[in-house]
Amino acid sequence: MRISTALPAALALTAATLAGGAVPAAAETALSTVELEAGANLHHNIARVDYERIDGAVNSVKVTYVLITSGERDCARVQWNDPKAGGDGWTSLTPEPSCHGIGMGEPREVVIKAPAGHPLKVRLAAYHSGADVMHKDIAKL
């Protein structure tokens, strides 16, 4: 084979190989959803938490969206079981609660992480005016 004809064929093969491998495969992170529900009738509270696992991180997720609709007579928060939290061991995922039947949805970029072996959980905690948690639902992430 002459060099003049072999060289363009080799260059074409090399270019095709590089083009196929030049773009790295995008890491696929699956978006997951947890739905929570607590109470009934005028105390019916619901919430949804969208999150994705963080590749390569142990026991870590990124919360991307939180939706809360409280019961008409309640205030409700979505919280996670933060191992560093004082008090009752739960940290809120939103800056304020949803109260008196008003729904609120917030895009979030909150990374929550815990040591290996600590199960990550979220809860919907609904409060009556001036009372401790009255209705709750807990789900594992």
The pLDDT value recorded for residue 29 is 64
CATH topology of domain 31-140: Immunoglobulin-like (2.60.40)
- Cβ–Cβ < 8 Å for 53, 29: yes
The pLDDT value recorded for residue 38 is 95
Domain segments of the chain as ranges: 31-140
pTM of the complete model beyond 0.85: no
For residue 111, the Cα-to-chain-centroid distance in whole angstroms is 8
The pLDDT value recorded for residue 30 is 84
Per-block mean pLDDT, blocks of 10 residues, the chain (141 long): 46 47 51 95 96 91 97 94 92 94 94 93 89 87 91
The pLDDT value recorded for residue 115 is 92
Q: Which of 92, 90, 81, 76 is nearest to 129 (CA)?
A: 76
The pLDDT value recorded for residue 28 is 55
At 72, give phi and psi (nearest 5°): -65, -20
